Structure 1
């Protein structure tokens, strides 16, 4: 389990360390930085798949994603005595992301992304580069706990002798992470372990429910323990839960939201189609006939009752298009998933948050993180400094 998420200089997140529990709810008003926290976590996951630089480019490049305010605020700026203005830069341009584990035997990770040293005649002088990566054991990075260190193109691993380092001869490209360029199970087993853990992270964000949504169409069926991002394999995912997952939890989740209803998966040759039997109707409704909210709720059932729980499950505004009466049932479903996976929910629906708090009591630990903004910077409004985990960035 992760104990903290750290983000620096990404959009409105100038310096943010988010404490994490088994179930963490990130909330706050519109524009407070919730979406930036979610997108930062997706960037972290992209590192393990070799796509973090491409993801930054899709967001408009490093210049577009960097914190747009001053490097630091003076006391007079914070008191409103003088306008916010730029200061002399003391650090190189950097966007930093990282996380810490809750257990001493698990691994933490941090990455520092910056701009290249300008080269005359090059057209790539604004192309993001990975400047530094580090892996360590335990909740806090210290010289004694660091296991892997990458600076520029150079990589070194902790040696067998106490305090010693062993350099890896092959240089790493500036646009590639060490996580994908070097994965030796003997020389660096912690890197391989961490990479596979990060690759298991799962994100769900705004399922489609329009008339042309893939989830409404019959699809070729195969065992589907993990629902696709777009929900296209909904019927196969529900049938997989029925056959190799928790079919009783599936029935309970449907009945909890729609009393007396039940789900059936109809198979015509190779095509799977979701049918919903509802009390009082003479025939079941197909997925194409379901309301947007009903279809979205079935998609959340398929995602959260996965027979293959991930290490980390991140849900962005799961309340979208759901009737408020469905939110208590969704809260119970999310709390059930948090027994098997660490779950982070980004939401501004007070009724869902209340349902999560009620459902988590006595079953999983819950942490509420309320964000707000001051002078354009996202901060945690409901926690004291003593509640924020200590964090140390690796030095370039």
Structure 2
């Protein structure tokens, strides 16, 4: 389980260390930085998958990802007695991301490409791509030189062997993380363990539920213990829960939201099947094509949260989308049930859902707000 998450110099997130619990819910007004916090966690996940360059490029490149505000304000500016000008004491050159967990801690610094010495004749044109400045893996709750197990500076990485260090690589590409390049269970077991942990994280932030969505079509009948990020294999995931997972919990979660309702499965033809939604008072079941967006999204969340193969971290971004407020208490109970099996991180606008989640004894409520362009959290004395 993650014990803390940290990010600095990323968009409105200037500097933060957030303590984490088994169930974490992030809330706050529009524009307070919830999406930036979610994106920073997802960016850290992309590091281990080797997708960090494309992930940052998708959002406009490394320059667009940097903290956009000044590094300091005058007293008059802070008191609102003069227009905010601010100043940069020095140019920002890196974004820092990291976490600590029960076993290891990990951090990475992403920066700008270094200009050629003397204005060389062949400068890179990939100036929007981040480069890895440094990476560390350590044992314990926080970094100390004595607890560091793996240290990467620029293209070189070394691994601790007893009381000494052994150089493990000297020519790592500047755009590749050691997690994607050195994850060898024999030579660097710490790197392998951290990569395996991050690889197990799951993110669900958008489901396409329009009438032409593939979710509404008959699906290939193959065992699916993990719902895909876009939910296209919903029927297979629910059927897998029915056969090898928490069948009673799944039906209970559905009837909790829709009293008297249940689901069943039907073969369309040999290799494909579909789902039928049985509802009290109706003479026939409803097909996937007939379900409302809210009902379909709730079924998708059931499949994600009751996976027979729970991840080490499950992240839901605005799961209340398209759901009627009456469904939010049931969704809260479903999320709490999942939190007994895995660590959960929820980003939400819906106060009804937040109230439901706060019934959980280990709920860690993180409220964000923004002042002078900088996001603040109520959980620490640090500023994001």
TM-score (norm 1): 0.92
* Partner residue, 2:282: 281
CA contact (8 A) 1:27 1:34 kept: yes
TM-superposed deviation, 1:117? 1.7
1:76 and 1:193 map into 2 onto residues whose CA distance is 50
Q: Are 1:373 and 2:375 counterparts?
A: no
Report matched runs for 1:167-206 at 5 Å. 167-206=167-206
Local SS of the residue matching 1:172? coil
Report matched runs for 1:40-119 at 5 Å. 40-90=40-90, 92-101=92-101, 103=102, 106-119=103-116
1:103-137 deviation line (CA, Å, top 9, x unaligned): 3xx01111101112212341234432110111111
1:63 and 1:246 map into 2 onto residues whose CA distance is 46
1:157 and 1:80 map into 2 onto residues whose CA distance is 50
* Partner residue, 1:147: 149
* Partner residue, 1:260: 260
Local SS of the residue matching 2:275? strand
CA contact (8 A) 2:72 2:88 kept: no
TM-superposed deviation, 1:54? 1.4
Which 5+ residue runs of structure 2 have no aligned equivalent? none
1:43-64 deviation line (CA, Å, top 9, x unaligned): 0110111011111111110111
Report matched runs for 1:9-48 at 5 Å. 9-48=9-48
Local SS of the residue matching 2:256? helix
* Partner residue, 1:239: 239
Local SS of the residue matching 2:115? coil
TM-superposed deviation, 1:318? 0.3
Shift >4 Å, 4+ stretches: none
TM-score (norm 2): 0.95
Local SS of the residue matching 1:266? strand
Say if 1:221 and 1:74 are closer, same or farther in 2 by CA, change over 3 A.
Answer: farther
TM-superposed deviation, 1:317? 0.3
- Deviates further, 194-203 or 80-89: 80-89
1:73-118 deviation line (CA, Å, top 9, x unaligned): 34443223443335343465111111112x3xx0111110111221
1:22-51 deviation line (CA, Å, top 9, x unaligned): 000000000000011111111011011101
Residue correspondences, number: 378
Local SS of the residue matching 2:146? coil
